[in-house]
Amino acid sequence: MPKVNWNEETKPNYRWLVYGVPGVGKTYLSTYLKGKTYLLSLDKSYKRISQLQGTDIWELDPAKPIEDLSEFVREFDPSQYDNLVIDNLSNLQKLWFIEMAKESKSGLDNKIQHFGEFTNWLIRFISKAFSWDVNILVTTWEKQSQVTDPSGQMFNQYGPDLRDSARDYLMGNCDVVARLIQKPKSGERGCILQGSIDTYAKNRLDDRKGCKVEELFDFDDNA
């Protein structure tokens, strides 16, 4: 097995996963990243953000999402960028199932094996992307599920809108998992960085339990 050579010149790469309801500002987060950023847009949200003009962007073709993503993997050169934003894996999940349903007689129904195939396919993609020498921000929609704890109490649990196995793999390989929320009255947005019984979150970069949205990537000042 090859040894890992640790030295002071080794540049760490960071992995962030941020989820939230549609329209809360997940795509806009990419404007706060430091350095040169490439945006892999899976739902075209960037078109509403003027600050992203001039950013290198790959817009996924919804008519052939599987083939188009494979082409992106072949063509993307991480050595030219500091950051890669994979914007909205939840939409990619929906597009994947729509594409695979074309195999059914009606063209609308998914086969049972598709669910396992999607998890394996997405894990392969994430594994490949996370092997690149570049910082990566992944965004997803938010899913609210009703769960029951061992005592029988029911509560709502917030987390990334992905199938469970794919979600758990992604979260396990990220340094930060944050829930992006917005205060209804003031409009102020912030990130929850500490997990709880009702919220998926974690922060392995510093001791913050939450932060303002514009300070998410400023962890060096808080270590």
- Higher pLDDT: 146 or 71? It is 71
What pLDDT, on a 0 to 100 scale, did the predictor assign at position 189?
95
User: What's the mean per-residue pLDDT of the chain?
Assistant: 90
What pLDDT, on a 0 to 100 scale, did the predictor assign at position 12?
81
Mean pLDDT of 151-168: 91
pLDDT tens for 100-129 read 888 767 777 778 888 889 999 999 999 999
- Report the predicted TM-score, pTM, of the whole model to 2 decimal places: 0.90
Distance of CA 142 to the CA centre of its chain: 11
- Higher pLDDT: 109 or 22? It is 22
| CATH assignment of 15-221, among 3.90.1170.50, 3.40.50.300, 3.40.50.2300, 2.40.160.10 | 3.40.50.300
For residue 77, pLDDT beyond 60: yes
pLDDT tens for 187-212 read 899 999 999 989 999 999 999 999 99
Distance of CA 48 to the CA centre of its chain: 19
Distance of CA 111 to the CA centre of its chain: 26
Instruction: Scan for tokens 């059914």, then name that residue.
Output: 104
Q: How far is CA 141 from CA 77, 153, 166, 177, in A?
A: 27, 26, 14, 13
Distance of CA 196 to the CA centre of its chain: 20
Domain ranges (residues) in the chain: 15-221
